[in-house]
Amino acid sequence: MPGQLFSQLHPDWQLLLAVDRLLIDQIETLLIGKDITPDFSNIFRALTTPIADIRVVIFGQDPYPTRGSAQGLAFSVTVTENRVPASLRNIFTELANDCGAAVRTNTDLSDWSSQGVLLLNRILTTQTGTSLFHTDLNWQHITDAVAAELGRRDVVAICWGRSANEVSRFFRTEWVVSSVHPSPLSAYRGFFGSKPFSKANAILTENGDQPINWG
């Protein structure tokens, strides 16, 4: 019976997305019995954080299609994985160059999430083994609603790639950090050297907030 997916949401997000309850239940029905990633229990993991705790949002495209990789936080990978996805490897390279630190090796980005960084894909599920398989499920309507609420709250938005930049319109221009996607197909066309981590921290500190420890 539909409703299990909606129940994953933090009460803040349940209140905000109550108007979209029917759509969420319809998506849940379409996912029942399907081989999807992330696991059903992690689909709304990013939205288990209270809205008021969110200071930065990083928008991705859709989950890693490899079984066991996606964990419900955009770009984050379970530490049991034996390989680092190419996009995440490029993110860590840019992080090291941007912040002058050693290249991060911990692929689980939960520490970012715990500091108020929302890691949200535009499309929250896909079929295992196939990227963008659920483009037509209308997940974008849900994530647009999330972006609109965060934009009203002056959350810093880091938008990587065309899909992510579609939501930049919900945020004040000066609170948006955007570039091409960190995938190998585009990283050398503007992601490397874009300094998203230091730029996001600069916006936070300029507005009286603590910077994120990107690790």
- What distance in Å separates the CA atoms of residue 31 and residue 125, rounded to the nearest whole number? 9
194: number of Cβ within 10 Å: 18
Angle 64-67-68 (CA atoms, 0-180°, nearest 5)? 90
| DSSP annotation of 197 | H
Query: Annotated catalytic, 12?
Result: no
* Terminal C-alpha separation, the chain: 41
Per the CB < 8 A criterion, the answer to whether 121 and 62 are in contact is yes
Question: Which entry of 12, 20, 62, 98 is annotated as an active-site residue?
Answer: 62
Residues annotated catalytic, as ranges: 62
